[in-house]
Structure 1
């Protein structure tokens, strides 16, 4: 089944699908817009399976264009709207895109650099094409294992790669998420994550399939506007990565504002500080907090921790979602004993068939359809998994492997801290020393000495940061995830200067 048909078959015509500013769009309008965009795509006479880039901020246009590309039997290549022109052009060529659909200011900013067919959001303005009252699009039949999208990885630890996502992958992962997340037709999800990011895309997929509504929050810069939007739009849910919730809890009224309509908080994209987990639960006891884990190569989701298990299995990413089998294995591929450390391997119909134009990396990362996540974890006797760290993010000091996330969790206990990133920097004797970059509340008087003293009460000596840098913000990618390699580069320079030793 074509993914566009799968996603458009549930929502009732009169129901809201997307709220942008003061404008509410219905499912009927969405079907009409997809038909309009599809007509324009047909005129390009692209072969089935051709790649078409989509560059736009979250918008009604983005949703309609995404579905139109897939409905036409083409492959959608979402591009972050924040890319520099040269990087955009490089990605366009790498993915072999034959056309690009632009929204917002992207057509003016980047369009002239694209050496392929270009369409912009005016394709939805032509009243002679399609029917705003719900005339559905023409949808091409495709094989379940044909590619529906090419998604770039987040690139937080290495250069981004292009992941092939099939129609089967999307349907399998969407059905699994709907099986545990309890998304209903009357849900209103506040969207702060870009649809070009796999977590944002999964929110789009699940809420369209449920016939629910997505409420756009175009900026996360002004945190109070996020809280106001939640309240004013009677949103029932919000989803984000740890940096989103760290900022909301420590630098806005999200932790004190009553939000009676809020019933679900979804978190993925990295391990969130236990202190922030506790603060969210205390601030919004009527909301279910879903702690989840996934990767782009898994079409989004691999595991979740049910809210009722948050106390008994604090810090866990839970167990595999329906249809996904997770194992924690040693270097020989054997299951580790409870408490042992190994790599998370995953199997299921949501696992990508591989990377575009990279058979070697596909064979290394997904041999035989098993996703080797690169995340090191432990597993308990009940099968609950606890991520220790990304293999690339371990700090090796005095011959001991230190999980950067353990250091970060200790620092986040301090209420003055909004966010933190811990990395290893070169040390002439220890090999690497622990260094942290810290974002504080604007009114905080926290200094390095007090932060280090705090860490000494919560961490073994070899894990206590030796270098501290207070920064205005951490480097984030377009998905809001911390780019550790940039933090590492910056703190390496500081450590060499010995300008901020603990």
Structure 2
């Protein structure tokens, strides 16, 4: 049965009072009234295109009022938003757009050559110049949708060479958003500094949750200079910060995050990959007044799957917690049977946050989305109380001399060394061992750490089968647009070493 309230584009604009701040971007502060009027202006533009319901509409823009209003306008119009990372080339954007039959775009011309190339190649384009015209005084009506209709096609950052887009429904976004709000307890007084792109499911969840709570977002898009994050928190009295491991590693390495008091900051969120435990401790110690939530998620689950309550961080060291409200997590074997506590298997998730599968990929959908749930591709074990401990990605496990080796265990040991900023271990095909272990590490700017020192540290702290066969310093680890380590690039580098 179709219900008008199923449209998540309506849900996200309900809470904020007109006079309250919604978004602060490079152009300044914008109230909820402005956001609603901007959304209406862009929705009216969409109406002139006479698109069939459920059409895919691309969004290629930096984080901004324009991005948020475009996204909400697409959803409220009954179409499907397709966000694209701003780091993509013109060729990449167009290839992904063709894959999802998307030839209509909202484009930020400030992206210059790439934006121009995309605009020239597609049928319909609108930009932020629409927001320079007099804006409508009333919020345009929203389209009726079914809760299980596609709302967003979110491209994954996985390792497959072909594009892979996750079909996220209106129901998925509502369920994941309300669950996150339940445990974070966000209020209209909260304001998060945003360093993650909205085109990434984690970044989008920040937009969803803060709009749903009537709270605000302060966009900081100059993370190449991490101190600007500190400046933004202080300037805008931000109460929250969310990041992936590389976010916090950069803040610890290249900013005053450790030493600058930030009294407004009350919530820290960490997801998007495993931050080594020594650095989790360093983040928590840097801002002791803030509650640090260690979390775990997947694009295929809308965003968030689990969280560890801050008060359990010491008691459950290394855990990503248990399922968020409405999500159940278990650890299963290859046949889908739950394994005993302490045994390693694959994380399996069920709940309304689990998405519909992959766009035009029945084989991939059939492999991952089984038994009304999701096989996440992450290997883990659960303790007797059900707290999940991620061991590694299935794709990142190294098999050396017949032994399965967790790359994360090696990385944790190396990052604990004084002077080591980040580390990543990969396997390289080896005729004798099956795979040899190759470690790459990034040293702090002001400390010399030699490969010999790293190797000696590994020999003194790790079991023999975990000691890398080769160790290489590297200026920085390769990251994808969402800040995650690209181990495929490191494997290629290891093959050439």
Task: Please give the range of the TM-score, normalised by the shorter of the 2 chains.
Answer: over 0.9
Q: 1:34 to 1:192 in 2, by over 3 A?
A: same
> Per-residue deviation at 1:32?
0.2
The equivalent residue for 2:338 is: 335
Deviation at 1:115, TM superposition (A): 2.6
- Match status 1:304 vs 2:307: yes
User: How many Å separate the matches in 1 of 2:119 and 2:218?
Assistant: 31
Name the counterpart of 1:499.
Answer: none
In structure 2, the residue matched to 1:500 is none
Q: Supply the distance in 2 between the matched residues of 1:296 and 1:290 (Cα, whole angstroms).
A: 19
Name the structure 2 match of 1:375: 378
- Once the two structures are TM-superposed, the CA of residue 431 in structure 1 deviates from its matched residue by 1.5
Cα distance, 1:86–1:106 mapped onto 2, change above 3 Å? same
Question: Structure 1 residues 372 and 315 mapped into 2: Cα distance closer, same or farther (>3 Å)?
Answer: same
Count of residues in Structure 1 that have an aligned counterpart in Structure 2: 490
The reply on whether 1:130 has 2:136 as its aligned counterpart is: yes
Shift of the 378–158 alpha-carbon distance from structure 1 to 2, 3 Å rule, reads: farther
Q: Which residue of 1 aligns with 2:3?
A: none
Alpha-carbon distance in 1 for matches of 2:464, 2:253: 28
Q: 1:22 to 1:118 in 2, by over 3 A?
A: closer
Q: Does 1:87 align with 2:64?
A: no
Contact 1:420 1:438 in 2 (8 A): yes
The Cα shift of 1:122 comes to 1.0
Match of 1:351 among 351, 354, 357: 354
* 8 Å Cα contact 1:316-1:385 kept in structure 2: yes
- Which stretch shifts more, 63-72 or 159-168? 159-168
Instruction: Give the TM-score normalised by structure 2.
Output: 0.96
1:135-181 CA distance string (max 9 Å, x none)? 21221111101110000001257654100000000000001000101
CA distance in 2, matches of 1:226, 1:159: 35
Q: Is 1:205 aligned to residue 208 of structure 2?
A: yes
Distance 1:465 1:352 in 2: 38
Instruction: Give the C-alpha shift of residue 427 in structure 1.
Output: 2.4
1:442 is the counterpart of 2:445: yes
Query: Which residue of structure 1 lines up, in the alignment, with residue 164 of structure 2?
Result: 161
In the other structure, the counterpart of 1:98 is: 103
Q: Equivalences for 1:215-226 in 2 at 5 Å?
A: 215-226=218-229
Look up the SS of the partner of 1:253 in the other structure: coil
Counterpart in the other structure of 1:242: 245
Query: Which residue is equivalent to 2:128?
Result: 121
1:275 aligns with 2:278: yes
CA contact (8 A) 2:93 2:118 kept: no
Tell me how far apart the structure 2 counterparts of residues 357 and 463 of structure 1 sit (CA, whole Å). 40
Q: Which residue of 2 aligns with 1:109?
A: 116
- Match for residue 288 of structure 1 among 288, 291, 302: 291
Instruction: Look up the SS of the partner of 1:297 in the other structure.
Output: helix
Cα shift at 1:218: 0.6
The match for 1:401 among 392, 404, 407 is 404
Q: Quick one: distance in 2 between partners of 1:212 and 1:156? A: 35
Unaligned runs of 5+ in 2: 1-5
| Displacement after TM superposition at 1:426 (Å) | 2.2
Instruction: Say whether the 8 Å CA contact 1:251–1:418 is kept in structure 2.
Output: no
Moved more, 242-251 or 60-69: 242-251
Partner of 1:256: 259
Please list the CA deviations of residues 407-434 of structure 1 after superposition, one character each: whole Å capped at 9, or x if unmatched.
1111111231222111011223212111
Contact map agreement 1:324 1:348 (CA 8 A) in 2: yes
2:107·2:119 contact (CA, 8 Å) conserved in 1? Answer: no
Cα separation, 1, equivalents of 2:338 and 2:370: 17
1:319 to 2:326 alignment: no
Deviations 1:28-69 (CA, angstroms, capped at 9, x unpaired): 000000000011110000011000000001011000000001
Secondary structure of the 1:480 match is coil
Specify the alignment match of 2:17 in structure 1: 12
State the distance in 1 between where 2:29 and 2:404 align. Answer: 51
> In structure 1, what is the Cα distance between the partners aligned to 2:66 and 2:362?
34
What do the CA deviations read for 1:96-118 (whole angstroms, capped 9, x no partner)? 11301101423643334423211
Match of 2:184 in 1: 181
2:145 & 2:414 partners in 1: Cα distance? 50
For residues 206 and 241 of structure 2, what CA distance do their matches in structure 1 show?
Answer: 10
Cα distance in 2 between the residues matched to 1:72 and 1:123: 17
Q: 219-228 or 380-389: which moved more?
A: 219-228
Q: Which runs of 5+ in 1 are unaligned?
A: 495-502
Separation in structure 1 between the aligned mates of residue 372 and residue 102 of structure 2, nearest angstrom: 26
Whole-angstrom CA distance in 2 between matches of 1:19 and 1:492 = 45
Tell me which stretches of 4 or more aligned residues in structure 1 moved more than 6 Å. none
Change beyond 3 A, Cα 1:159–1:274:
farther
Matched-pair contact (CA < 8 Å) for 1:469–1:491: no
Task: Check the 8 A contact 2:109/2:116 in 1, yes or no.
Answer: no
Q: Distance in 1 between matches of 2:279 and 2:188?
A: 29
CA offsets per residue over residues 223-278 of structure 1, 9 Å max, x none?
Answer: 11122222222111100001111111122211111111110100001111100111
